[in-house]
Amino acid sequence: MPVLRLVPATVKLSLIPKRMVFFVVSSVLIFTSIVLFLAKGLNYGIDFQGGILLEVRTGETANIAKMRSQLNGLGLGEVALQEFGAPTDVLIRIQRQEGGEKAQLEAVQKVKETLSDEVSYRRTEFVGPKVSRELFIDGVLAVSLAILAILVYIWFRFEWQFGLGAVVALTHDVISTIGIFALMGFEFNLSTVAAVLTIAGYSINDTVVVYDRVRENLRKYKKMPLGELLNNAINQTLSRTVMTSVTTLLALLALFFLGGAVIRDFSFAMIWGVIVGTYSSICIAVPLLMYLKLNRSGIMVDNESDREEAAAIEKP
């Protein structure tokens, strides 16, 4: 029975010799992401910013301009409205009111009295300043601890050089994801943090697969030039990597286009993460080993059969 391969098993791409091109592209991407984050900032959701969030549905296509004019006259401070999925669905954001929970409830009541009875309220949320600050700190801490744990795992699983390469690639993925959210203006909330953590897990899975082949080749080919060895490892795992990424993207694209506005930002973050994570595993994590003084003698042959196989391969 024929096996479907998006990339031929005998592919011979020359990627390691082009590593400087990849490093320059990634450096530009990281630099641009940092500049966008500092200059434009993120569109923080209510989870991190605090305030009042109402999701309403109208009987017919919503007249957002009219609704905005009505709500701006209530003296509630900054009020933002946007279409949320269907033309009849509107997301209303109101800045946090001074005066605690009672003031927030009064603001919600004012909105309900101002809008017509034809509007149905599907969701009402309030996040206070203390909670939003704690959620933001917890989100940053979760991502940082995840990356640290991955560094420790790869260090013990392989060598410290592999761990450092994996963390550089992961940091590349996280920063570029933040940059694309700053560029596009998508909402950055707890769901996005969950997406970033999922991206980290997906990316490290790809990286470990390639690293495992690198370690296997280091055991077998003691005299092969390191650049050629790393390039072979990438080519040998490329078919599996691409197949995994494409099948994952098919599911994510279905979620993005058919899953509704509630999970659209999450789906977009995941789509971007799969693409950039696959790229970093192949074009960043492995080529970095060329510069980390990989100790080839430290990669020990595990058992007698491996020694015999390695010796047989190296015989002229």
Domain boundaries, the chain: 16-42+132-314, 51-127
**pTM for this entry:** 0.77
CATH number, domain 51-127, options 3.30.70.3400, 1.20.120.530, 3.30.420.10, 3.40.50.970: 3.30.70.3400
pLDDT at 269: 92
* Residue 30 CA from chain centroid, whole number: 14
Which amino acid is it at 242? V
pLDDT at 278: 93
Q: Any idea which residue has 């993460």 for tokens?
A: 273
Low-confidence ranges of the chain (pLDDT < 50): 300-316
Measured between alpha carbons, how far is 193 from 199 in angstroms, rounded to an integer?
A: 10
In terms of Cβ atoms closer than 10 Å to its own Cβ (0-12, 13-18, 19+), residue 105 is middle
In terms of Cβ atoms closer than 10 Å to its own Cβ (0-12, 13-18, 19+), residue 89 is middle
pLDDT at 131: 66
Instruction: Determine the CATH number of domain 16-42+132-314.
Output: 1.20.1640.10
pLDDT at 303: 42
